[in-house]
Every structure is written in C-alpha cells, then in structure tokens.
Amino acid sequence: MKKITFLLFVLTATSNLSLATSIFNSDVENLIATMRAPTPVITDLKQLTDEIGGRLTGTQANKNAVNWALHKFHQAKVSAKKESFTMPKAWLEKSISAKVFNGSFSFSPRIVAMPFTKGTDYQGLTADIININKGDSQSFNQANTKNALKGKWLLVETAVLDDESGIHGLFQEYLDAVGIEERALAVEAAGIIYMSSRSQNLLYRHLPSTGADNEVPIIVMGRESALRTQRLLNSGKKLKLTAKINIFGEDSYQADNVIAEIKGDTYPDEIVLIGAHIDSFDLGTGALDNGSNVSLVIDIARQIKKLDIVPKRTIRFALFNGEEQGIYGSLGYTKTHAEELDKHVIAATIDIGTGAINGFFVNGREDIKTTVNHVLTPVADLGPFILMNDPVVGTDNYDFMMQGVANLVASQTDANYASNYHAESDTFDKVDQKQLKLNSVIMAATILGIANLETIPWQRQTAEQVVNMVDKYDIEASMKTFGLHKSWTENTRGIKH
Ligand SMILES: [Zn+2]
C-alpha cells in the first residue's frame, strides 16, 4: 500500500514536472527528462539478447534481429525500412573439434575458428604443434631454421586480457595479430593456434587482420588447454593437433541495415545520424557489443516521437549490419547515400557496451569541438566530457570519416567491455542497466542538440583533408588491424584520392 501511495506521488510529481518543462524548456530538456525516466530500453535489450541471441550477419538470427528492430521502430510510429548492402563472403562455423596428442596420451581442448577460416575435410587438419611464444619476428626467426615452421600448427602465447588491461590491451592484441598473421603466412604454416587471452577456458572470436581474405586457418584454444600444450612442448614432448573445422561458406550475399528517420522541418534535407551495429558474433548474445546501444538508438527515436518533437534537421537512426565481419553495413550505407553525404551534418556512433560516456572521439575534426561541447551543456551533470581528436578505426564511423563526413564515436569507460569482448560471456547479465539509461540521455541530448542548431559551422571534408587526417594521426597501423588498409591504398574504399 505504502508503495502505491509513493508511486502515485512520483507519478503526480513527474507529470507536473513534464508540464512545466514543456511550457518553459526546450525540446532537448524535455527529451532529457523523458530519457531519464523508465523507458522500454532494458526490456528491449532483454528480448534482443535472450530471445534472438547471437546474430552473426548471414544467419537467420541476424534476419530475426533486423525484423525485430524494424517492428520496434514501427511500433513507435517512426518511419523505418531495411536497406540492403553487399557482404563479400558468408562464413559460419557449423561445428569444430580438436585433439592434441602424441603416441601415449591425448586431450580435446575447446577451440573456435576465427572468422573466414577455411573448413577442413572430415578427417581434419593434422600437423605438429610448434610453440612460437609471442609470435614476434625474433621468435619466428629463431624457430624457422631450415623451414621448420612450414606445414606446422603455430601455438601463439597471449597476454591475459581482463578488465584491468581493458580496451588498451584489446587493441594491443589486434596490433600483435597483424605481424603474427603476416609471418605465419610467409613461413607457410599449417595454421595458427592463439592461446585464448581470457582465462577459465573462455572462447571468443574476432576478425583476422586480413579480414575476408584470410588464407590461414586460425583457431583460438581455451587458455588453460593452450598453457598445458605449451608446457608439454617446453618439456620436450612432441605433439600433434587435429582440428576438424566444418564451415558454411559462400560468396557474396545481401544483408540489411535498418534505417529509420524523423524528418526535420527547417532543414529537412540535412541529416544528423546516430548509429549502432545490430549484428554480433555468435558465441555470446551480443549484449555489450552492441545490443545495448541498438536498444539505446531505438529508444531515442521512440521518445522523440512520443514527445512529438519535430527537429530542425532530419534525424536518422541507423542500425548497421555486418560490422563485426569488416564494417560492411555502414560502408553500404555510405554507398547507397553517396549523393546525400554532403548533407550529412554528423554521424555519431556508440559501440563500447555500457561503459559510462565520458566524452567523444571527434576523429580528427577539431572544427566540430566547440559545437559538440555546446550541445553537451544540458547534460553537464553527467560529465565531465572530454573531446578527443584521435580518429577511431574499427567501428561504424570509419566510412563516414573516410568520406569526410564529420563523425563522433562515444568515448566510454572500459568497464567490463574487454573481458567479455566477442566472448561467450557477452550476455544480458553483464549490462550496467543504470549506466545504459544515462548514456541514452547523453546521446539523445547530443543528437537532438545538433539537429536543432541554428547553423552548422563545418562542412564535409575534401579528399585532400581526409588524406591529411590519415597522415597527421598516423592511422594506417590501425587500418591494418581491421583489414582496412589495402582498400584505402587501392582507392576502393573511402573518398577517391
Ligand atoms: Zn561492436
């Protein structure tokens, strides 16, 4: 009973408040108040992750997620449609198993294949295992006397990736992989065995540095089993590994982004975009990466519509697909909307789970900082916010940035992102529900704030400016880690230069 009275009090108090704000305050402040109050963002996320689950692009679950999101926008009376784009290759691990053995004993470690690894025949791929330590060039040179690595499985030792090593540790893992994979290809190794960087035999997968062009079988082995294998090798035992890898593979196919929009009334042809990727890897249920922020994007659209807010500029809500396998959905969007890119005022994306937003990466765009700081003032109590110049490579801002479109990536605290990254453990229970709500408030204020500006004091960059950005911030090493460097130098992706 007490509870009900309290609830009634709260309801009365909030409705009075919203009446007051609707008379005296701006649309942005109304939206902030509404986003702070309970909304369906958490129940949506629970549905997406528990009922639909992991949603690798190309799978039925991914299609289900696309239809689910479309339905959510339509339920909120926000106009939305699917937009198809091309994925270069289909890849799905159907089953996998491994056996480590010698003449006198054997064990069967848990393994997964890295994306775009080719399957084996039913007998599997059997070869000697060589311990290549951390896989740096010195280790390769020492071990490869008389072509000793040719045709062998190379066991690579990794550093533990946990919440302490965080996102920095994760990027180091990606950076190290570029050299390891190049060297393994050069010595004609049979394949690479990465020791899982997470303890407790937790498995994960992420894109190899060569992306869909990957030619080397790459597997991740449960850390404890890989350590056991390494100890045995170090004690002089000779070991072989048989990996049976059953892959569904196919050439290019079509997948769908979900694109929703709320039309602006003053500058309807100018577009302010907010996006998150709807696909995930298939081992976990993609709660932190990136279901949380899919729900956030949908919820912002829903609340703007519910408040009958008509922004000055058109706000586009993009749920990009194919991000995990090479950032193909947002690439597809920039191709489909090539004629409109000059009119894209900003493309903001969010992709670091539910870590607290502590600012934005402005991706080399000094010229947008003053304005972004300005639109953050209504949510100053959730700050402080820091704007960082560093261009982010590896998520959906990439093709906007490389097309000269001003873009933002939410900068977030590491929280529990790294330890669960692309792993079996990326599930709903890892989500910081309270912080997700606060992040949605910050993103909503930023997007509507920019959409409602009187004037936009920046423009799309020229090819020359984009080339300068690549040089100035030296992002080519990062481009290599995500298989994006070749297409830039070959002038097949990004602004023609
Ligand atoms: Zn992601």
* Cα separation, 74 vs 393, whole angstroms: 32
Q: How far apart are the CA of 402 and the centre of ligand 1, in A?
A: 19
**Summary count for the chain: helices (H), strands (E):** 16, 16
Extract the tokens encoding 436: 């997700």
Extract the tokens encoding 116: 């775009």
Q: How far apart are the CA of 141 and the centre of ligand 1, in A?
A: 35
Q: How far apart are the CA of 49 and the centre of ligand 1, in A?
A: 14
Can you say whether the dihedral through the CA atoms of 292, 293, 294, 299 is positive or negative?
positive
In DSSP notation, 366-420 reads: GGGHHHHHHHTGGGGGG---EEE-PPP-SSTTHHHHHTT--EEEEEE--TTHHHH
Q: How far apart are the CA of 351 and the centre of ligand 1, in A?
A: 5
Q: Single out the residue of 255, 360, 349, 372 nearest to residue 293, CA to CA.
A: 349
**CB-proximal residues (5 Å) to ion ligand 1:** 289-290, 351
Q: Single out the residue of 435, 444, 497, 441 nearest to residue 470, CA to CA.
A: 497
List 79's β-bridge partners, or say none: 261
Q: How far apart are the CA of 324 and the centre of ligand 1, in A?
A: 7
Q: How far apart are the CA of 291 and the centre of ligand 1, in A?
A: 9
In DSSP notation, 25-75 reads: S-HHHHHHHHHHS--THHHHHHIIIIII----TTSHHHHHHHHHHHHHHHH
Q: How far apart are the CA of 375 and the centre of ligand 1, in A?
A: 25
Q: How far apart are the CA of 205 and the centre of ligand 1, in A?
A: 12
Extract the tokens encoding 412: 């977030």
Q: How far apart are the CA of 315 and the centre of ligand 1, in A?
A: 22
Residues 428, 429, 430, 434, Cα dihedral to 10°? 90
pLDDT along the chain (497 residues), means of 10: 41 43 69 97 98 98 98 98 97 97 97 95 97 96 94 98 95 95 97 97 95 93 98 98 96 97 98 98 98 98 98 98 97 98 98 98 97 97 97 97 98 97 98 98 98 96 98 95 94 97
CA dist 204 → 152, 182, 350, 425 (Å): 23, 21, 21, 9
Length of the chain (residues): 497
Q: How far apart are the CA of 353 and the centre of ligand 1, in A?
A: 8
CB atoms within 10 A of CB 163: 14
* Cα separation, 193 vs 227, whole angstroms: 12
End-to-end CA distance of the chain: 69
Predicted pLDDT at 52: 98
Residue 449 backbone phi and psi in degrees, to 5: -60, -45
Q: How far apart are the CA of 261 and the centre of ligand 1, in A?
A: 22
In DSSP notation, 62-99 reads: HHHHHHHHHHHHHHTT-EEEEEEEEES-EEEEEEEEEE
Structure pTM?
0.93
Q: How far apart are the CA of 128 and the centre of ligand 1, in A?
A: 35
Q: How far apart are the CA of 199 and the centre of ligand 1, in A?
A: 22
Q: How far apart are the CA of 51 and the centre of ligand 1, in A?
A: 20
Q: Are strands 106-107 and 191-195 parallel, antiparallel or unpaired?
A: unpaired
Q: How far apart are the CA of 287 and the centre of ligand 1, in A?
A: 10
Edge-to-edge strands of the sheet including 153-156? 106-107, 90-101, 240-250, 125-131, 153-156, 191-195, 218-221, 111-113
Q: Single out the residue of 171, 196, 203, 113 nearest to residue 352, CA to CA.
A: 171
Q: How far apart are the CA of 251 and the centre of ligand 1, in A?
A: 24
CB atoms within 10 A of CB 486: 14
* Cα separation, 335 vs 328, whole angstroms: 10
Q: How far apart are the CA of 204 and the centre of ligand 1, in A?
A: 13
Predicted pLDDT at 25: 56
Q: How far apart are the CA of 285 and the centre of ligand 1, in A?
A: 12
Q: How far apart are the CA of 290 and the centre of ligand 1, in A?
A: 5
